[in-house]
Structure 1
Amino acid sequence: MVRNPAGFWKRLAAGLLDGLIVGLPLVLIGYLITGSWEENWFTTAANIVYGLVVPAVWSGYTVGKKLLGIRIAKVNGEKVGIGTMFLRSVVGGLVYGLTLGIALIISTIMVAAREDKRSIHDFIAGTYVTTEKPA
C-alpha cells in the first residue's frame, strides 16, 4: 500500500544531493586510485555498491533522501533489501538504457502525474518513495 508518496521535485533534489555529497567525492577518490577520469572502474563500482547497499541497510534512505526526509519503501510493507535495490537500480537502469532513455522520460512523467508517484523502476522492484518514516 502506497502511503505519503514523495513527488518529483523532492526525488530529483535527493538525487542531486547524492551526486554532490557522495558521487563527487567518489569520482575524486576514483581518479586518485586509477589515475583516469574516463576509465574509472572504482567510481562505477562504488556507485553501484552505494545504490544497492546503503538503502538496504539504512531503511530505504540514501544520504540525499535522508536529508530531504524521503525514503524507498516496498509496497507490500517488507524491508527494502539488496535484491529489491538490484531490481530497482540495475534492472531499472538496463530498461532505461535499452530504450535509449525513452523509458526514463516516461518514468519522469509517471512520477509527476501519477497519484502514487511510482516510476518504471518502482514497478519493477515493487517499491515507491515516501515521506513516511520507517516503522
Structure 2
Amino acid sequence: MAVNAAGFWIRLGAVLLDALIIALPLAILGAIISGGLENNEPVTKALSFLYSLLLPIFWRGFTIGKRICGIRISKLDGFPPGLGTMLLRNVVGGLVYGITFGIAAIVSLVMVVVREDKRSLHDLIAGTQVVHDR
C-alpha cells in the first residue's frame, strides 16, 4: 500500500476546491486576454491546463485545492513530480480518457475507490500517487 495514500473523497474535495478557487479568476483572466467573456473559453482552458500542469511542479506536488486538503502528488520514490511526470499524468492520461470517451475515467474512479494503493489510471501511467502530506 502507498504510504498515506489519499482516497476518493479527499481527492474529490481537492478537485472541487481547485474548481471553485481557480475557475472564476481564470475566466476573468481569460476574458481580459481574449477581450470578452464570449471568446474566452480557449484561453481559459489553456490557463487551466497550465495551472494543473505547472503548479504541482513548482509547488512540490500541490495545487491550491490539494494544499488546503493536505494532499499532494508524489512520484513513487516520494519526490515531487517534474515536467515529464506531469506531462504523462495530464496529457497522456487525458488522451486515454478522451480516446475511450470517458470510460477510462470511470475505470480510474473505481481504481481509486477499490485499489489498496488508491492509484488511478493516470497515476499508473505517470508513476505517481496522491498522498497525505505530513
| Alignment TM class, shorter chain as reference | over 0.9
Counterpart position of 2:132: 131
Return 21-30 or 100-109, whichever deviates more.
21-30
TM-score, length-scaled by structure 2:
0.92
* Residues 26, 46 of structure 1: 8 Å contact kept: yes
The 3 A distance-change label for structure 1 pair 97 and 21 is: same
Return the letter of the residue paired with 2:111: M
Partner SS, residue 60 of structure 1? coil
Unpaired runs of 5+ residues, structure 2, are none
Structure 1 residue 31, shift from structure 2 partner: 2.2
Assess if the C-alpha contact under 8 Å between 2:26 and 2:44 holds in 1.
yes
Is 1:68 matched with 2:69?
Answer: yes
The code of the aligned residue for 1:105 comes to: I
Q: Structure 1, unaligned stretches of length 5 or more? A: none
1:22 aligns with 2:36: no
Q: Per the alignment, in what secondary structure is the counterpart of residue 9 of structure 2?
A: helix
Within-5 A mapping of 1:27-46:
27-34=27-34, 35-37=36-38, 40-46=41-47
Post-superposition offset of 1:50: 0.7
Deviation at 1:38, TM superposition (A): 5.7
Aligned to 1:2: 2
- Relative to 1, partners in 2 of residues 1:24 and 1:39: Cα closer, same or farther, differing over 3 Å? closer
Distance 2:46 2:86 in 1: 15
| Greater mean deviation of Cα atoms: 58-67 or 76-85 | 76-85
Matching residue of 2:114? 113
The share of aligned pairs that are identical, in percent, is 53
1:29 to partner: Cα distance = 2.0
Scaled by the length of structure 1, what TM-score is found? 0.91
Compute the displacement of 1:39 (Å): 5.3
Worse-superposed segment, 32-41 or 59-68:
32-41
Count how many residue pairs are aligned between Structure 1 and Structure 2: 133
RMSD in angstroms over aligned alpha carbons?
A: 1.5
